[in-house]
Structure 1
Amino acid sequence: MRSAVVVNPVKVADLDELRETVDGALGAAGWPAPLWFETTPEDPGRGQTEKAVSAGVDVVFACGGDGTVMSCVSALVGTDVALAVLPQGTGNLLAANLGLSTDLAAGLEVAVEQGRRQLDVGAVDDAYFTVMAGMGFDAQMLDATSETTKARIGWPAYVMGAARHLRDRPMRVTIRIDDRPPLRRRARSVLVANVGRLQGGVTLLTDAEPDDGWLDVAVLTPRTLRHWLAMGWALVRRRGSVPRMEVYRARRVEVTSNRAQPRELDGDLIAPGRRLAAEIRPRALWLCVPQPQEAPDLAADAEAAGERGEELVEEARRE
């Protein structure tokens, strides 16, 4: 199997050690040495991944945070080249949602075992997301969270960023879902999700699956601190409905605000704007995942148990 590593050097403590570990593990599995590409502020991974695809690789290792993964995904959509995630950042939402290990050795083993899963992706203009896109509060939170704090304490840094914007005024949005009549809301955030889990292990959308052919749309409408607390408590408990949150399913969704809003894709900020339009691309990405555990052969076990039961009955009769 031919492979390439697209690595964000800012996220890696010792690049030489990483290279030695990856080359050694792949060599031990009989793979040729991978191609290596480093991301830059100007190109966070898409161009490097396109070069890897053109070189004829079978697997691209995305080694960095969610932004690196998203950039690699944008170049892999619609190809037969698989993505393998080697998480190095503080978010790693795709890995968390799909139960992928954050351990380097485990990530390499998953790719070598060649377990594969086709995922849906969301398309926003010429970019793609595997986790979620958002407009409003979620992007404000990301903008208010410093990289230094994230590096020091991890995901709780987002809580500190969120606290700065809890009292901001809502946005007036029009939401068009497929061909249905438009919805008009005063919302704090609109999230368009391919999976349901947020930072810190909180599940926002319990029914979101990455390969069901749908985008799940969450419209958050809290107006007071009490509303935020009630919503957060309901999300943590996951019992019954979540107050101040509406959920819809869509193939296409377009959100238009009365004023320019911060926006994000997979935890990375994109240019602010009044509009966020996304559509689903079903099963457009191959992802390296652990091989499924072999299920016990229940039929064979039942047959064996039946045969043994007959033997015991015959023995009893003879006695």
Structure 2
Amino acid sequence: MIHIHFIVNPIAGNGHTPLTKDELQSYFISGVHDLTIKISEYKAHATLLTQESVLEKADIIVACGGDGTINEVATCLIGTNIALGIVPMGSGNGLASNLKIPKNRRKALEIIRNKHKEHIDVGSINGRYFFSNTGVGFDARLIKHYESSEKRTLLGYISACAITFRDIKKNEPLSIGIDGETPMINPFIVLISNSNEMGYKLSLTPKASLQDGKLDVLVIKKINRLKMLWLGILILIRKVHWLKESKSFQTSKLHLTRNHSDFFDTQVDGEHNRIDTNQLDISILEKSLCVLTAK
């Protein structure tokens, strides 16, 4: 018997199409697959539910939601023999898209039933795991505004983007040093990626890979508003390297220091995360997570 546990975020993607056991049962074989559904009710609840499923000896644990739900579930499976399945139900779905897991529910469930396994890299920022990307600067402030919005859609994302542009001069001055280099004053963004998508098919690091043992780092120095608009266009056509203020490199470890402050506002897999320290240690754990993907 194959024990498959589904951890479902009922409000992912605005909760328009809830996942039910009756629906799931039609994709699996009675007597071969034993299905369990657990519903998350609040932030970090998916982590608790996954920890229970690990103790209950589930063979496969499926995250049904967006990148935030996937992060909560996958965090518990690092270094185990339990495979992570994904049913993309969020608005961005960056990691699922990178793994070629379709948003079509039937096709996503077929991938889980077929059980094709691969191992992917995992990022770590001060001991917290990330699977797609993490960052400080504009993207962290953008996610902070996005989370306060009731619109978890592309339109809501664009609206949060506009608010972040408007408020950019109100933010506390930021000085960041990277691995001993001369500190940058108010960098526009420092993005550290494990995958090549941020969600909504957008990418700042299109060459990033989940299986190369490296993190792709994009640093964009302080830029004016006109350059910000130009950057927006370059993101859409995946040509961020055309911006002369940008610098990209790969690494397995990264150290960030913030001067004149004892905290970092960051985003981790599309969720705002305040870290109460002026030091960030970021690293890669090679092929430490087993995931179910299309062949």
C-alpha distance in structure 1 between counterparts of 2:52 and 2:92, whole Å: 26
C-alpha distance in structure 2 between counterparts of 1:72 and 1:183, whole Å: 38
CA root-mean-square deviation: 2.1
Residue in structure 2 matched with residue 148 of structure 1 by the alignment: 150
Q: Deviations over 1:230-288 (max 9, x none)?
A: 22223333458331221121111122223334211100111244333211000001111
For the residue of structure 2 that corresponds to 1:279, the secondary structure is strand
8 Å contact from structure 2 (residues 118, 292) kept in 1? yes
Code of the aligned partner of 2:269: D
| Aligned mate of 2:175, from 165, 172, 175 | 172
| C-alpha distance 75-198 of structure 1, shift in aligned 2 (>3 A) | same
Q: How many residues align?
A: 282
1:184 maps onto 2:187 in alignment? no
Residue in structure 2 matched with residue 269 of structure 1 by the alignment: 272
| C-alpha distance 217-240 of structure 1, shift in aligned 2 (>3 A) | closer
Residue in structure 1 matched with residue 291 of structure 2 by the alignment: 287
| C-alpha distance 25-285 of structure 1, shift in aligned 2 (>3 A) | same
1:232 maps onto 2:235 in alignment? no
Residue in structure 2 matched with residue 112 of structure 1 by the alignment: 113
8 Å contact from structure 1 (residues 85, 107) kept in 2? yes
8 Å contact from structure 1 (residues 135, 276) kept in 2? no
| C-alpha distance 43-229 of structure 1, shift in aligned 2 (>3 A) | closer
| C-alpha distance 118-253 of structure 1, shift in aligned 2 (>3 A) | same
Q: How does 1:226-265 map to 2 (within 5 A)?
A: 226-239=226-239, 241-243=241-243, 244-258=245-259, 259=261, 260-265=263-268
8 Å contact from structure 1 (residues 136, 261) kept in 2? no
C-alpha distance in structure 1 between counterparts of 2:235 and 2:90, whole Å: 25
C-alpha distance in structure 2 between counterparts of 1:85 and 1:239, whole Å: 29
Residue in structure 2 matched with residue 21 of structure 1 by the alignment: 23
Max Rg structure:
1
Code of the aligned partner of 2:256: V
C-alpha distance in structure 1 between counterparts of 2:240 and 2:70, whole Å: 34
Q: How does 1:25-40 map to 2 (within 5 A)?
A: 25-27=27-29, 31-40=32-41
1:201 maps onto 2:190 in alignment? no
Code of the aligned partner of 2:294: P
Unmatched segments (≥5 aa) in structure 2: none
For the residue of structure 2 that corresponds to 1:149, the secondary structure is coil
Residue in structure 2 matched with residue 58 of structure 1 by the alignment: 59
8 Å contact from structure 2 (residues 92, 198) kept in 1? no
C-alpha distance in structure 1 between counterparts of 2:232 and 2:43, whole Å: 37
1:94 maps onto 2:95 in alignment? yes
8 Å contact from structure 1 (residues 211, 282) kept in 2? yes
Residue in structure 2 matched with residue 212 of structure 1 by the alignment: 212
Structure 1 vs Structure 2: percent identity of aligned residues?
A: 23
1:182 deviates by: 3.0
C-alpha distance in structure 2 between counterparts of 1:185 and 1:82, whole Å: 41
C-alpha distance in structure 2 between counterparts of 1:107 and 1:98, whole Å: 11
1:36 deviates by: 2.3
C-alpha distance in structure 2 between counterparts of 1:203 and 1:192, whole Å: 12
Unmatched segments (≥5 aa) in structure 1: 292-319
1:205 deviates by: 1.2
- TM-score, normalising length from structure 2? 0.88
Residue in structure 1 matched with residue 156 of structure 2 by the alignment: 157
Residue in structure 2 matched with residue 134 of structure 1 by the alignment: 135
**Structure with the larger helix share:** 1
| C-alpha distance 165-42 of structure 1, shift in aligned 2 (>3 A) | closer
C-alpha distance in structure 1 between counterparts of 2:275 and 2:239, whole Å: 35
Q: Which moved more, 1:197-206 or 1:219-228?
A: 197-206
Q: Deviations over 1:119-142 (max 9, x none)?
A: 000012342111001112111111
C-alpha distance in structure 2 between counterparts of 1:2 and 1:60, whole Å: 9
- TM-score, normalising length from structure 1? 0.82
